[in-house]
Structure 1
Amino acid sequence: MVNIMGLIKVRVKRGINLVVRDAMSSDPYVAVSLGNQKLKTRVIKKNCNPEWNEELTFSVTDPSLPIKLTVYDKDRFTKDDKMGEAEIDIRPYLECIEMRLENLPTPTTIRRFYPGKDNCLADESAVVWQNGQILQDLTVRLRNVQTGEVELQLYWIELSGSN
């Protein structure tokens, strides 16, 4: 039996300045995976600055597995075109969860992360205690393309009986 540590919700908020893959625009969607779990957002037609605001939930069994996301342009008759990809190391976020912080003033910043060669962050990101939850808002820069970012939010769901 697989030991599930908890659930992580990935809210895919929006894309920013995504590359054009069709004649004038793109029909983007985001495929997100954690280990062998794969989910995707709906397609937003003809928009290089789409707003998805969709929550995708994954069970976490191995904290060393990154969240991988790939943005695609939906095509009707051919293979969907890649519009960039990014990886998110969830270990630093999970370290904040393991601190078992409670009853902090809302909002309280627990830890800050900065863009660097070892991550896909486009801007500073903070893990924050807010209204009884530990959240991380982040903007990731897509790799292997000229332009494009995706705004996300992570939050943790503790399972009863898990450590």
Structure 2
Amino acid sequence: MEHLLGLLSIHVQKGVNLAAKDILGSDPYIVFRLGNQTLKTRVIKNNNNPVWDEVIHIAIFEPLPIKFEVYDKDTFSCDDEMGDAEFDIKPFIEALKMRLDNLPDEAIIATVKATRTNCLSEDSCITWSKGKVVQNMVLRLRNVTSGEIEMQLGWINVPGSKGLK
């Protein structure tokens, strides 16, 4: 039996310059997958620059990469794929394990460099913000002409869980 480490909080902020899949624009939503967990954002109608401002929580049993796909919601046919990406949560988990506190607000704990092998479109900073460790990231979608997703990671300790050691 795997032991729960805690909950990864993903604040899905917005999409930027998503590919148009329909004449009137796309109706995008995001599907996050980790193990047997599948979580979806709501659909934003007719918008290639959607603002979700939505928080989802994924149970973390081990620090595996989080995969997600962006889809265009269609009424009369299968939803169109609008790209996909994945991100590694290991650097974020390692920053959490440092058990930092009393840092100045917005202090940078670590920086994850954007490379050809990850989906980051710019360097991603893990910071101490309002008493918590957070990571802001802009992810470039793969398998599509254009599109980025902006999000922020946070962490929720779950009472009775294994926690981070």
Q: Which residue of 1 aligns with 2:129?
A: 130
List 4+ stretches of structure 1 deviating above 6 A: none
Q: Which amino acid aligns with 1:4?
A: L
Hey, what's the Cα distance between the residues in 2 that align with 1:149 and 1:81?
17
Hey, what's the Cα distance between the residues in 1 that align with 2:56 and 2:34?
11
SS at match of 2:32: strand
SS at match of 1:79: coil
5+ residue gaps, structure 1: none
Deviates more, 1:29-38 or 1:39-48: 29-38
Hey, what's the Cα distance between the residues in 2 that align with 1:160 and 1:133?
17
Hey, what's the Cα distance between the residues in 1 that align with 2:130 and 2:15?
26
Matches within 5 A, 1:66-77: 66-77=65-76
Shift in Å, 1:159 = 2.3
Q: Give TM-score scaled by structure 2 length.
A: 0.95
Q: Which residue of 1 aligns with 2:19?
A: 19
Number of aligned residue pairs: give it: 162
Q: Which amino acid aligns with 1:123?
A: E
Hey, what's the Cα distance between the residues in 1 that align with 2:27 and 2:158?
36
Q: Which residue of 2 aligns with 1:41?
A: 41
Percent of pairs identical after alignment? Answer: 47
The Cα offsets for residues 30-81 of structure 1, whole Å up to 9 and x where unpaired, read as: 1112221111111111000000011000110011x21111100000011100
Hey, what's the Cα distance between the residues in 2 that align with 1:101 and 1:143?
34
Matches within 5 A, 1:101-112: 101-112=100-111
Shift in Å, 1:160 = 3.2
Matched, 1:96 2:83: no
RMSD (Å) for aligned C-alpha atoms: 1.0
5+ residue gaps, structure 2: none
Q: Which amino acid aligns with 1:156?
A: W
Q: Which residue of 2 aligns with 1:85?
A: 84
Q: Which amino acid aligns with 1:35?
A: G
